[in-house]
């Protein structure tokens, strides 16, 4: 099972990976991208089980990435891990096709609650 992890911060990508493991998910591999544009490129050669993206990134934001991916026919479950947690942001994410939004700071329990319905295991 692969997770495409999109965040402009290498440190945050490492924290998310660690938290996913702490949430009890094992046997996962991670594909990393620094922004939405790079993530779209990764989708041309990879078929992740789920996509986790930050909202605010240079070059292409997370919401722009989600919209472009959906327009390209990508149906992979998609969620945000972001500091943007307002009702407007949540509604925008949901309308664009995101299955969940986890706000920073987050716990392993938050991650498990969001991922378990999407990837099981």
Owner of token pair 């309308």: 95
* 2-119 topology per CATH: Rossmann fold (3.40.50)
Interhelix angle for 62-71 vs 36-43, to 10°? 30
How much is the pLDDT for 121? Answer: 61
Residue-level pLDDT at 94: 94
Kindly report whether the peptide bond that precedes residue 2 is cis, defined as omega within 30 degrees of 0.
no
Domain residue ranges in the chain: 2-119
Ordered mean pLDDT values, 10 residues apiece, the chain (121 residues): 96 96 92 97 95 96 96 95 91 95 95 91 61
Q: Which residue has the tokens 């993530």?
A: 39
pLDDT for 18 = 96
């Amino acid at each position: 099972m692969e997770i495409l992890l999109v965040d402009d911060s290498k440190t945050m990508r490492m924290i998310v990976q660690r938290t996913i493991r702490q949430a009890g998910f094992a046997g996962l591999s991670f594909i990393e991208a620094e922004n939405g544009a790079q993530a779209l490129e990764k989708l041309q050669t990879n078929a992740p089980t789920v996509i986790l993206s930050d909202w605010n990134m240079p070059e292409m934001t997370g919401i722009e990435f989600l919209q472009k991916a959906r327009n390209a026919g990508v149906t992979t479950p998609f969620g945000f891990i972001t500091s943007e947690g307002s009702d407007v942001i949540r509604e925008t994410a949901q309308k664009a096709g995101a299955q969940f939004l986890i706000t920073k700071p987050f716990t392993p329990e938050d991650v498990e609650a969001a991922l378990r319905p999407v990837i099981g295991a």
